[in-house]
Structure 1
Amino acid sequence: AYPELEEKQAMILKLIAVEEESFSRTIDQGTQLLDEIIAKSSGSVISGEDAFKLNDTYGFPIDLTKEIAAEHHMTVDEETFCKQMQEQKDRARAARKNAGADAWAGESNLLEGIPETEFLGYTEKAVQAKVLAIVKDGKCTQSATADDKIDLVLDKTAFYGESGGQVGDTGVIRADDVVLKVSDTTKNHAKNFIHHCQIQAGTIHVGDHVMAQPDWERRAAIMRNHTAAHLLQASLRKVLGKHVEQAGQFVNEKHVRFDFTHFAALTEKELQEVEKMVNQVIFSAIPVETRQMPIEEAKKLGAMALFGEKYGKIVRVVSVDDFSKEFCGGTHVDNTAKLGMFKILSETSAAAGVRRIEAVTGLGVYTLLNDSLKTIQQTAAALKLNSTANLSEHAEQAAAQLKQNENELEKLHAKLADQRVKQLIEGAETLKNIRVCTAKLNGTDAAGLRTMCDKVRDKAPDMVAVFAGVNGAKANIAVAVGKDALKKGVHAGKIAKAVAQLAGGNGGGKPDFAMAGAKDLTKLDFALHSVSGIVSDFIE
C-alpha cells in the first residue's frame, strides 16, 4: 500500500539510528542541566519555568524531570509548566495562522468577488494596471491619500507575491502625481496579489490606472539565489544520493537557505564537491528554460515535485539542461552564468533528519571574499606581520605558544591547589575517628570545587570535606566523603542539604559527593562553622 516505504527503507533505518543517538545525547545533556537546577534550588519544588525550558529548549521529557526530582525528594510545579506549554501552543497556532498565502486577516471576505491578478513578472519589468481594490485599516475603501498605509490589489502586476519560499517583491507604484512605496507583496488562495504600500504622495482611487514597477535590482538578486537553490538540490542528489529532497527553503536578495532530507552532517569533502558542481554549471553558461506542460508529461521528464504539495493539471517546469528539472512557480535567471559564483556559508542541522545549507551568489560572494580578505589582513597585522604570506604557519606557531602558556598556567594552578589541599588536610578537625575540613574559596566555580573535593578524598580517605565557592551573589557548596568516612555512615548528599539550608539554599546528591546552592551569603560563614555539628549527627 505504501511503496515509498520500501523504496526508502535504507534511509528510514538510518534516520531511526540517528534519532536514537540524538535522544541519548538529549537525555545526557538534560540530566546534567537538571542536576544543576536541583543544586541551585533553595526549596523543594522545581519551578514550572525551569521544567518548561528543559522540555522546550533541550527536549528533555517532563516525565523524566518529575522522576529525577522525586529521587531528590522534590516535586515539579506542573501547573505553571502546563500553562507555559499551552501558551507555546497558542503562539505556534497564531504563527501558522499568520503564515502563508492567507496571512492577511480577513482578506477572503474583503476581496470576495475581486478577479484574480494576472502575474506578468516572469517577462515584464513594469506593468500598466488597474486598481481593483484598496484596503485600509482592515476595511475596503474607494480611495486613500498621502501617508496612508494600504493594501492594493491590481488586475495585473509585475510584482511577485511571496510563495514557495521566495520573498515578495518591493518597489514603486505610480500614477500621475501619485507615488506608492511597496514594502512587500503577498497573494491569497484566490490568486489576488496584495501590494502592501504606503502612499508617498497624491491620492489613489479604485479604478485608477497605475504603473507597477518592482525593484529590479533586488528582484535580480532574488532570481540568482532561487536558481542557485535548484542547482544546489541537483548537486546534493548527485553527491549524497536520491534520498535528498527539499524540506523547505527561503530565498531573498541576500542569500538562499535550503533545507533537505539527509541523515548526517556533510563532510568537508562533500561540501566542496557540491559547491564545485554548482559553480561548474554556472561557469558553463547553460540556458535556464521554463515551460508550462501537463503534470504527467512533467513527471515523465523527471521533473522534481515538492513532496506533499498539491499541483494542478498544468504545471510550470524550470530546467537547466538535464542537470536540474523542478516544478516551480518562482522567478529565475535565464542563464546560469548570471549567478556569477556560488559559495556555501554554512551547513547545519535544521531538524531530525533534515540538514540546512545557507549560501550566497553574485555580489554576495564578492562581498564575502572582500570581508574574508580584510579579516586575513587584520589577522596578519595583529600578528605583527608585514604580509599575509605564510599566515597560517605564523598563526599555528602563535597558537602553539598560547597552548604551552596555558599548560604551564594549568600546572601552576594544580600546584597551588595541591598546596591548598595539603594545608586543609593538615588543619582538619578530628571528630570520632574521622576528619573534617571546611573552606570558603572565593572565585571558585562548581568544576573547581569538584576538583578540590576529588584531591582531598584521594589523599585522605577518612576525610569529610565541605567547600563553598563564592561567585558574585551566589555560592555553590560541594561535599566529598572519603571511603573510610563512608563506612561511618556519613552521607555527602544529606550534609550538603543541611549546610545549604542554613544559608537559604538546597541541594543533595550521592553518599560520596554532593552539590548544593546557597543564596544568603551573609549566612554562609555560619553554615560552614556548623559543619562539625552536622557531620557529628550522622556518624554512627
Structure 2
Amino acid sequence: MPTEMLFREDAYAKDCTARVVAVTEAGILLDRTVFYANSGGQPGDAGTLSWEGGSLAIADARKGPEDTVLHLLPADAAPPPEGAEVTIALDWERRHRHMRMHTTLHLLCSILPGIYATGNQIGAEKSRLDFDLPEPPPKEWFTEQLNALVAAAHPTGERWITEAELDANPQMVRTLSVQPPRGAGRIRLVRIGPEDAPVDLQPCGGTHVRNTAEIGRVAVTKLESKGRQNRRIHIVLEE
C-alpha cells in the first residue's frame, strides 16, 4: 500500500494525522505523511510522532518499498502499535531551509543554460551543486546573479507530464547524476517563473518555496575543482 505523500500537494503542511500501517526494523510505515523521504540530494525530514499514550522523535525519513516512506526511529525507542492513529509533525525550520536551498539550486541551474549538473547535496546550513564546467565565472558573479533572481520574486509551481512527453523534451533533464524516477507513467515538473516564460523548468520530486523572495540573500562561498572539468559550487543562506 503506497504512502500518501502530502508534501507533493502542499510543501507547507507542517503536520498531519495518520494511521500506522506497519512497524518494522527499518522504520514505521504510515498511510500518509508530510515527511519528505531522502532522495535527489534533499535530506529526509525529521520531527516527532505522537499518539495516545506516547511520543517519539523521528530521526530521518527514507524511501521504502513500493512507493512508501519509512520513518526512522532512535535506537531502543518504543514505537506505536500497528493500527494506531498518530500525529506526525515536521521540524519545520529545518525543512523550510531545505526548501529555500533546493529552490536556490534550481536558480543556479538557470544561470548556466546548457551546462549539466553532475552531483548535488542539499543541507540546512550549506549546499553544493557540481557542474561539468571547465572554466566557471568567479564566485562573486554567481552570488550577484542568484540574488537578482531571488529579489525578482519569481513564483514557483508544478505540473505533471507523461514519460513520453519528457522523452520528447530530454533537454528538461539538467542532471547527469540523478534521473527522474520512472515507472509510474508521469513525471513532476517544477517551474520557477511564469508558465509562458519560466526561469527554470525541470523534473524534480523535492520541496520548494512558493516564491524566490522567500529564499532571502544567498552567497556562493567557494568554487572547488573536482576533476578535469567538474566544478563544485558551494552555497549558504545569509538570512
- Same fold, judged at TM 0.5 (above): yes
Structure-1 separation of matches of 2:233 and 2:163: 29
Structure-2 separation of matches of 1:132 and 1:214: 19
> What is the aligned partner in structure 1 of residue 111 from structure 2?
235
Counterpart amino acid of residue 215 in structure 2:
L
Q: Secondary structure at the match of 1:181?
A: strand
Please say which of residues 191-200 and 288-297 is displaced more in the overlay: 191-200
Q: Deviations over 1:27-72 (max 9, x none)?
A: xxxxxxxxxxxxxxxxxxxxxxxxxxxxxxxxxxxxxxxxxxxxxx
> What is the aligned partner in structure 2 of residue 129 from structure 1?
18
User: Do residues 194 (structure 1) and 64 (structure 2) align?
Assistant: no
> What is the aligned partner in structure 2 of residue 495 from structure 1?
none
Q: Structure 1 residues 344, 260: closer, same or farther in 2, change over 3 A? A: same
Select the structure that is richer in helix: 1
CA shift for structure 1 position 204: 1.4
User: Do residues 360 (structure 1) and 236 (structure 2) align?
Assistant: yes
Structure-1 separation of matches of 2:79 and 2:161: 43
CA shift for structure 1 position 200: 9.6
Conservation of the 8 A alpha-carbon contact between 1:173 and 1:210: yes
Q: Secondary structure at the match of 1:346?
A: strand
Structure-2 separation of matches of 1:212 and 1:125: 9
Q: Structure 1 residues 203, 267: closer, same or farther in 2, change over 3 A? A: closer
Conservation of the 8 A alpha-carbon contact between 2:220 and 2:236: yes
> What is the aligned partner in structure 2 of residue 276 from structure 1?
144
Structure-2 separation of matches of 1:326 and 1:126: 28
CA shift for structure 1 position 133: 1.3
| CA-based RMSD | 2.2
Match of 2:187 among 297, 308, 315: 315
> What is the aligned partner in structure 2 of residue 180 from structure 1?
56
Instruction: Map 1:75-474 onto structure 2 (within 5 A).
Output: 115-122=1-8, 123=10, 124-136=13-25, 151-198=27-74, 204-237=80-113, 242=114, 244-264=115-135, 266-268=136-138, 271-298=139-166, 300=169, 303-307=172-176, 309=179, 311-312=181-182, 313-321=185-193, 322-361=198-237, 365-366=238-239
In structure 2, the gaps of 5 or more residues are: none
CA shift for structure 1 position 188: 3.1
Structure-2 separation of matches of 1:228 and 1:215: 20
Q: What is the TM-score normalised by the length of structure 1? A: 0.40
Q: Secondary structure at the match of 1:351?
A: coil
Structure-2 separation of matches of 1:118 and 1:218: 22
Structure-2 separation of matches of 1:282 and 1:161: 26
Structure-1 separation of matches of 2:7 and 2:120: 21
Q: Secondary structure at the match of 1:218?
A: helix
Q: Structure 1 residues 282, 301: closer, same or farther in 2, change over 3 A? A: farther
Q: Structure 1 residues 293, 273: closer, same or farther in 2, change over 3 A? A: same
Counterpart amino acid of residue 157 in structure 2:
E
Q: Deviations over 1:457-511 (max 9, x none)?
A: xxxxxxxxxxxxxxxxxxxxxxxxxxxxxxxxxxxxxxxxxxxxxxxxxxxxxxx
Q: Secondary structure at the match of 1:290?
A: strand
CA shift for structure 1 position 202: 6.9
Aligned residues: 228
Q: Deviations over 1:105-152 (max 9, x none)?
A: xxxxxxxxxx2211102412212111111124x7xxxxxxxxxxxx21
Structure-1 separation of matches of 2:201 and 2:15: 28
Structure-2 separation of matches of 1:354 and 1:189: 34
Structure-1 separation of matches of 2:79 and 2:199: 50
Conservation of the 8 A alpha-carbon contact between 1:181 and 1:199: no
CA shift for structure 1 position 214: 1.1
Please say which of residues 251-260 and 301-310 is displaced more in the overlay: 301-310
CA shift for structure 1 position 247: 0.5
Q: Deviations over 1:79-117 (max 9, x none)?
A: xxxxxxxxxxxxxxxxxxxxxxxxxxxxxxxxxxxx221
Q: Deviations over 1:237-296 (max 9, x none)?
A: 3xxxx2x111111002112111111123x343xx33322121111101110111112234
Counterpart amino acid of residue 224 in structure 2:
T
In structure 1, the gaps of 5 or more residues are: 1-114, 139-150, 367-540
State the structure with more CA Rg.
1
Conservation of the 8 A alpha-carbon contact between 1:180 and 1:199: no
Q: Deviations over 1:192-245 (max 9, x none)?
A: 2111113898761011111111111110000000000000111123xxxx2x11
Q: Secondary structure at the match of 2:35?
A: coil
Counterpart amino acid of residue 100 in structure 2:
R
Q: Structure 1 residues 186, 201: closer, same or farther in 2, change over 3 A? A: closer
Conservation of the 8 A alpha-carbon contact between 1:179 and 1:199: no
Structure-2 separation of matches of 1:261 and 1:301: 17
CA shift for structure 1 position 185: 0.8
Counterpart amino acid of residue 188 in structure 2:
R
CA shift for structure 1 position 305: 4.6
Counterpart amino acid of residue 14 in structure 2:
K
Select the structure that is richer in strand: 2
Q: What is the TM-score normalised by the length of structure 2? A: 0.87
Which structure exhibits the higher relative contact order, with contacts defined as CA atoms closer than 8 Å and separated by 6 or more residues? 2
